[in-house]
Structure 1
Amino acid sequence: MTGPNPESTGQDPPVVAVLGIGTMGAAMARNIAAAGLGLRVWNRNRAPAEELADVGAVVCDSPAEACRGADIVLTLLANEKVVAEVMDQACDGLDERTVWVQSCTVSPDGTRRLANQAARLGVTYVDAPLLGTKEPAVAGTLGILAATDDVAVRDRIRPMVDAVGSRTVWLDEVGQASGLKLAYNAWVLATVEGIAESLTLAQALGIDPHKVIDAIDGSALNSQYVQTKGPKMIDDDLDTPSFPLEAAAKDATLITATARAAGLHLGIAEVVRERLGLAVDQGYGRADVAATYRQPRRSAS
C-alpha cells in the first residue's frame, strides 16, 4: 500500500529515520520509501539495513547519524530498555523539530518513562504501538494506535502513518495507546491458546482436528485468524513467524504485570503467559506464536 504523495499537498515530504530493521521495520521502511518520503535507516546489525538501499534509503552507522536531518524518528526495537538506550545514542542527531514515534510494545508506565526521556532530549513524543504482524506490515495495512493531544503533531506524522497503515486510532494521552495495545494483545494471545487447546482436545478424542476449523468456519466466532493459525498448527507449519513466540511471551509478561499493578488478576492471561514461557524454554522462541501448540498438554496423572 502507498500513502498519499506529500508533494501533491505543496509541502516537502518529511524525512523519516527508522531505528530497528527487523521484520516489521524492513517492511514499514519500504512502504515509507514507496510513499515518496525521505528515508534514513539504522540497525545494530547493518546487513538488514543495507538491503533497503535499493529503495533509496540512506544507510547509517549510528542512531545519531540516522536521526540527523530527520523530521520523524520511528523506533521499532525489541523492548523499552533497548529503545531508551538507542535514543540516548541518537541524542546528537535530534533537535527541537524532531517527532519521536515510539512503536515498540511497552507498558503504559514504560511509555510514560520514554515520554519523560523525550522531554529530556528536547523532542516531541508520540505513543504509537502497532496492530498487525508481518503480512499487514508488508501490505501497508497495519493498524496504528497513536496517542498525542497535539493536532499539529498528528498532521506532521500523518504522511508516515498513512504510508504504513490503513487505519489510525488517535488517542489524547500518552499511555492510552500502549494500554490499548496490551488489551488487544491479551485477546490475540488468548485466541491463539484457545485454538491450540481446541485442536488438542479434538485429537485426544480421536477427532480430526481439521473438523474443529471446519465447524468454526461460518459461525459467529469465525475469524481469519482462526482460519490461518489453526491449519498452520495442524500442519506444524510454524517455523516462519508472523509474530515470534518470544515477542508474544514478552507481551504476555507485560500484560499480566500491568494488570497486577492495576489490582487485577487476569486468569486466562496468566495461563497464557505461563504456556508461552514454557514454549520459549523448550526452544520455540523464534517460531511463530502458534508454536504454543507444540507444548504437551497430557495430564501427568
Structure 2
Amino acid sequence: MTSPTPDSPARTGTPTVAVLGTGVMGAGMVRSLRRAGIVVRAWNRDPAKAQALTGTGAEACDSPADAARGADVLLTMVFDADAAVDVVRQAAPAAGTVWLQTTTVGVEGADRTVEVARELGLVLVDAPVLGTRKPAEEGALVVLASGPEEVRAGLEPVLEAIGARTLWLGEAGAGSRLKLVCNAWVLSLTAAVAQSVSLAEGLGVDPQHFLDAVRGGAADSPYAHAKGAQMIAGDFPVSFSLAGAAKDARLIRSALQASGVTDALTAAVLHAMDGAAAQLPDAAAVDMGAVVRGFRPA
C-alpha cells in the first residue's frame, strides 16, 4: 500500500504494518494482526512494551522511522492528537503510505491529521475504534473508518484482523466525529452506573442488588455489569484508563459546545472523573470504572 494505485502491493498481497503505540490497545492490535499472518513492525515510547510483543513474531523497532521504513500501512494508536502527529512526523513515512489513524483525537484533532497527511503526502484513513483491551486482543473491535474509497480493498486484511466490523463513513474525519458520539454514550453510562452503585452504598443497600434488579430488563447492559463489578470490588485493571476517558470527555465537551448542543451531562461526567483522579496517584493506571471514586465522599 505504498501507493493507492491498482497495482499497489496491498492490493495484490498482505501489507506490512508499522504499529506506533503498543499500550493496552496497540498491543492487542499487534497480536490480532500477527494471528492473521500480517507482518508487523512495532514501536512504543517505552521500548519494553514493543519488545514484549516479539514473541508474537512482531519486530520491535527503536524509533518510529525504523518501524515505518518499508511499511505499507502506518497504524497509530497513541494517547491524543498531539502524540499522533508527533510520531507520524518522526516516522517520516514514504509519500503514498496509508496512515491508519486509530487514536481518538476529536474534531479539531481529526482536522489536524488531515492537514498533516496532506503535508506529508500520506493517504489518511481516519479510523478510531470502539472497544477496549479484550476486543483489541480478540480482533473484535468496531472500526469507524473514513477515507478514500480506493484504499478500502487494500486495507481489508488489516481491518479484518483487528475488527469484527468496519463501518465506512465517508471522507476522513467522519470516523472521529462518530467516535465522539459513541464515547459520549459510553462515558455517560459508566458514570450512571457509578452513581447508582454509590447511591446504593449511601442508602445502606447492597449495590449488587442494583445490578441484579436490572439484569435482563429493558435497561440492562453487559457493560453496566462489567463496570459495576469493578466498582463494587474496588479493583480497576485497565481496559480503558480513567485518564484516557477524561481526555475523551474533554473532546466530547468541546464538540458539544462547537455544535451548539448543551454540554451539561458531559460536564457532570467530567467533574466526577476529575474528582476521582484527584484521589488517585495515577489516573492512567486505573480503569475508568474508578470514576466511582468521584461519587463517594472524599
Which residue in 2 is equivalent to 1:244? Answer: 241
CA shift for structure 1 position 295: 2.5
Which whole-Å CA distance do the structure 2 matches of 1:193 and 1:258 have between them? 19
Q: CA–CA distance in 2 between the matches of 1:296 and 1:27?
A: 31
Matched residue type, 2:52: E
Distance in 2 (alpha carbons) for counterparts of 1:176 and 1:124: 15
Question: Which residues of 2 match residues 255-266 of structure 1 at below 5 A?
Answer: 255-266=252-263
Kindly provide the amino acid, as one letter, of the partner of residue 278 in structure 1.
G
Which residue of structure 2 aligns with residue 201 of structure 1? Answer: 199
Deviates more, 1:170-179 or 1:241-250: 170-179
Instruction: Report the counterpart of residue 183 of structure 2 in structure 1.
Output: 185
Identity %: 42
Deviation at 1:10, TM superposition (A): 9.3
With over 3 angstroms needed to count, the CA separation of the structure-2 counterparts of 1:199 and 1:79, relative to structure 1, is same
Distance in 1 (alpha carbons) for counterparts of 2:295 and 2:168:
41
Letter of the structure 2 residue corresponding to residue 202 of structure 1: A
Q: Runs in 1 of length 4+ with deviation above 3 angstroms?
A: none
Q: 1:296/1:196 Cα in 2 relative to 1: closer, same or farther (>3 Å)? A: closer
CA contact (8 A) 1:109 1:175 kept: no
Give the structure 2 partner of residue 136 of structure 1: 135
- Report how far residue 251 of structure 1 moved: 0.4
- State how far apart, in whole Å, the 1-side matches of 2:266 and 2:56 are: 41
Is the contact between residue 130 and residue 143 of structure 2 (CA under 8 Å) also seen in structure 1?
Answer: yes
Alignment gaps of 5+ in structure 2: 1-9
- Secondary structure at the counterpart of residue 14 of structure 2: coil
Q: Distance in 2 between matches of 1:296 and 1:49?
A: 37
Q: Does 1:59 align with 2:60?
A: yes
- Distance in 1 (CA, whole Å) between partners of 2:234 and 2:178 is 31
2:4 matched to which residue of 1? none
Amino acid at match of 2:240: F
The equivalences for 1:150-161 within 5 A come to 150-161=148-159
Aligned to 2:7: none
Q: How many angstroms apart in 2 are the aligned matches of 1:244 and 1:171?
A: 27
For 1:281 and 1:34, the matched residues in 2 are separated by: 40
- Give the TM-score normalised by structure 1: 0.92
AA aligned to 2:153 is D
In the TM superposition, residue 223 of structure 1 has moved relative to its aligned partner by 1.2
Q: How far apart in 1 are the matches of 2:55 and 2:188?
A: 40
Distance 1:10 1:296, change over 3 A: closer
Indicate if the aligned counterparts of 1:233 and 1:290 stay in contact, CA closer than 8 A.
yes
Alpha-carbon distance between aligned partners in 1 of 2:165 and 2:102, rounded to the nearest angstrom: 15
Q: Indicate if the aligned counterparts of 2:146 and 2:168 stay in contact, CA closer than 8 A.
A: yes
2:101–2:125 CA contact under 8 A, matched in 1:
yes
Shift of 1:296: 4.3
Please give the root-mean-square deviation of Cα atoms over the aligned residues, in Å.
1.6
Count of aligned pairs between the two proteins = 287
User: 1:162-241 maps to which residues of 2 (within 5 A)?
Assistant: 162-238=160-236, 240-241=237-238
User: How many Å apart are 1:97 and its aligned residue?
Assistant: 3.1
Aligned to 1:5: none
Amino acid at match of 1:49: A
Cα separation, partners in 2 of 1:88 and 1:169, compared to 1, 3 Å: same
TM-score (norm 2): 0.92
Write out aligned runs for 1:1-301 (5 A).
11-91=12-92, 94-148=93-147, 150-238=148-236, 240-283=237-280, 285=283, 286-297=285-296
CA contact (8 A) 2:146 2:173 kept: yes
Q: Deviations over 1:116-136 (max 9, x none)?
A: 101111110011001000011
Deviation, 1:226, is 1.0
Shift of 1:266: 2.2
